[in-house]
Structure 1
């Protein structure tokens, strides 16, 4: 569907500063969201399946080897560990589950582990399945689809004109080739970016219209959470009203895309998170992010329910990657495997039921990088020295 506003209108809306004007913009975005999606939602959760030591120089990311920042460090998870994460996400109320790894791509061994993890999630949960594993060919995208992946995430991060300020080792054109390969394999696409990297108002509008040309199924919006030791680590948080404003503008430019708020939303939005949801969001990344903490699942569910939105999973979540944008989507009930088990158990005897949730302390470790090479673009990437009084 074409944008509901022009570039000129988007720039005018981006210049608003009065909260009352922004609230009026939010109402406009809310109307567009309700028209296309009703009260449906699409709640995500992720697993950081391979973390730390990334060879790329993305200026926002603590996992980069060029960043002097502490970050979780672990090799590729085993398929069974991925499944445990998925079961925990399902128990928390997520509709979909994304398997994320660092870097531009995976070795054959790590890719095979991810494929097997995807198969286990497909076979043992009712979650929609996504993957975010860097660049890939049509052949690899096809393998993901055959293993049960339904949507692939690959951000453009920012506008084309500002892109070289964000990374010099990952090319913008390469990102577009990966997105095209995903489409050729018959998979849905999840493509978004990060706001507050130092881009201008014009470049934000540019990115939104570039996304409209890509026409992804899903658009994740991240708000920079500045990490000390990264290129953008000295930036201030985004003004909450400004963040809400741009969520609404992006919604009006991409009216039929599934929108979700992801990294940095708790730090940047604070108490305005519910207003950002009303600005056109379909879902959020529930729980924690790749290297930082988020809301509790209970808080996330409450934000959507307070707006009259339906957060229940449907019986066919696992088979339909986008069931919330079709007629009759409300039919069905949320699966309750634990309740079904208890109903079938013998009342007179004890119930032998074990629920295993993944324990991060048994897998993750935060490690300070021993050697941090200079960034290819010469930008500083050091944690500021502490000075005494």
Structure 2
């Protein structure tokens, strides 16, 4: 479907700052969301299946070899470990599960492990399957499809005109080629980006219309969570009402896309996360993110339930990649999906709750951090910033100049 607003109107809406005008925009975006999706939701959970040591220079990422931050590191997970995390995501109420690896490509050995993990998740759970593995050749895209992946994530990150400020080692055109390869393989696409990287409001409109031209199935919206020791490590978080405004604008430009709020939502939105849902979201990335903390699944489900949205899965959840849990009404309570899940497994749900260890991906405990012995200059010549800034993962700031390697989080 074409955008519901023109570029000119999008530019005008991007400049509004009056709270009442933003609230009216939110109501307009909510109507567009309900008209197309009813009360259906699309809740995702991820696992960071391989982390750290990335050769690229993306300015927002602590995994980059060019970032003066400790490397969040672990080797490629074994297929059985991927399945363990998928089962935890299913028990927590997720509809889909995304297997994510660092960098722009995997070795043959690691790619084969990923494929086997996908097969296990497809066989042993009722989850929809997604992957995020960097650039993909047509052959690898087909291999993912054959293993059971239904949707692949590959962000453009920002507007084409601002992209050189974000990365110089990963070409924007290469991202588009990967998206084309996914479509040719019959896979759904999940394509979005990050707001507040230093782009202008006009460039946010540019990015939204570029996404409309790509026409992805799913659009993940991230809000920069500045990582100390990265190019964008000293940026302030977004004003929460500004963030809500842009979620609504993106919804009106991409009315048929599944919108999901991902990284940085807690830090940037705080108590306005529930209003952000009404600005047009279909779901969130439940729980934690790749290297940073999120919210609990209970909190995430409640954001949607309070708007009368249905967070329950359906029996065919794993076979149908599109959201299929709508009930046709926007009122009343939604089912206790965790309780229902446990009741299927045992006649004594209370006992099952005591026995079940729901261990979602947790970067605070499951990543180890390695200090970089040498950090090469960034290819664009920009400095890394934000040394000594606090993060939610570590609680306290690291004093500038402290003997912590390169100003990264101490562990």
**2:272 aligned partner:** 272
CA distance in 2, matches of 1:357, 1:306: 24
Q: Greater shift after overlay, 319-328 or 353-362? A: 353-362
Counterpart of 2:259 in structure 1 is 259
What SS does the corresponding residue of 2:100 show, helix, strand or coil? Answer: strand
Instruction: Indicate the SS of the match to 2:252.
Output: helix
Residue 17 (structure 2) pairs with residue 17 (structure 1): yes
User: Equivalents in 2 of 1:306, 1:68: separation in Å?
Assistant: 41
> Does the 8 A contact of 2:44 with 2:286 survive in 1?
yes
| Cα pair 2:310 2:327 within 8 Å, conserved | no
- Once residues 284 and 384 of structure 1 are traced to their aligned partners in structure 2, the CA distance between those partners, rounded to angstroms, is 30
Shift of 1:377: 0.4
**Contact 1:37/1:324 (<8 A) preserved:** no
Which residue of the partner structure matches residue 344 of structure 2?
Answer: 340
Residue 223 of structure 1: CA displacement? 0.3
- Partner Cα separation in structure 1 for residue 20 and residue 317 of structure 2: 38
2 CA distance for matches of 1:77 and 1:126? 21
Name the counterpart of 2:310. 310
The CA deviation string for residues 146-196 of structure 1, in whole angstroms up to 9 with x for no partner, is: 111000000000000000000000000000000000000000000000000
Partner of residue 409, structure 2: none
Query: Given the superposition, is the C-alpha separation of residues 337 and 325 from structure 1 closer, same or farther in structure 2, using an over 3 Å criterion?
Result: closer
Matched with 1:284 is 284
- RMSD, aligned CA: 2.4
The 8 Å contact of residues 36 and 325 in structure 1, kept in 2 or not, is answered as no
Aligned partners of 1:381, 1:147: CA distance in 2, in Å? 40
Q: Is the 8 A contact 2:40 2:323 kept in 1?
A: no
Tell me the CA shift for residue 138 of structure 1: 1.3
Residue 374 of structure 2: aligned partner = 371
Separation in 2 of the partners of 1:44 and 1:113?
Answer: 22
Q: 1:22 to 1:373 in 2, by over 3 A?
A: same
Q: Give the superposition deviation at 1:369.
A: 1.9
Question: Can you list the C-alpha shifts for 1:216-236, whole angstroms capped at 9, x where unaligned?
Answer: 000000000011100000110
Distance 1:282 1:327 in 2: 15
Answer yes or no: is the 8 Å Cα contact 1:313–1:333 preserved in 2: no
For 1:306 and 1:325, how far apart are their aligned partners in 2?
17
Name the counterpart of 1:178: 178
* TM-score (norm: length of structure 1): 0.93
SS at 2:290 equivalent? coil
Q: Which consecutive unaligned segments of at least 5 residues does structure 1 have?
A: none
Using the alignment, how far apart are the partners of 2:348 and 2:306 within structure 1? Answer: 34
Cα deviation digits, residues 349-389 of structure 1 (max 9, x gap): x99x964544858752122222211100011115537469x
Q: Which residue of 1 aligns with 2:31?
A: 31
CA distance in 1, matches of 2:12, 2:214: 24
TM-score w.r.t. the length of structure 2 is 0.88
What do residues 235-287 of structure 1 show as CA deviations (whole Å, max 9, x unaligned)? 10000000000000000000000000000000000111000110000000000
CA contact (8 A) 1:47 1:82 kept: yes
| 8 Å contact from structure 1 (residues 51, 72) kept in 2 | yes
User: Counterparts of 2:327 and 2:309 in 1: how far apart (Å)?
Assistant: 16
Where does residue 72 of structure 2 map in the other structure?
72
Q: Which residue of 2 aligns with 1:380?
A: 383
CA distance in 2, matches of 1:25, 1:106: 42
Moved more, 270-279 or 354-363: 354-363
Change (3 A) 1:156 1:128: same
Say if 1:156 and 1:191, in contact at 8 Å, map to a contact too.
yes
Deviation at 1:103, TM superposition (A): 0.5
User: Aligned residue pairs: how many?
Assistant: 383
1:48-127 aligned at under 5 Å gives the runs 48-127=48-127
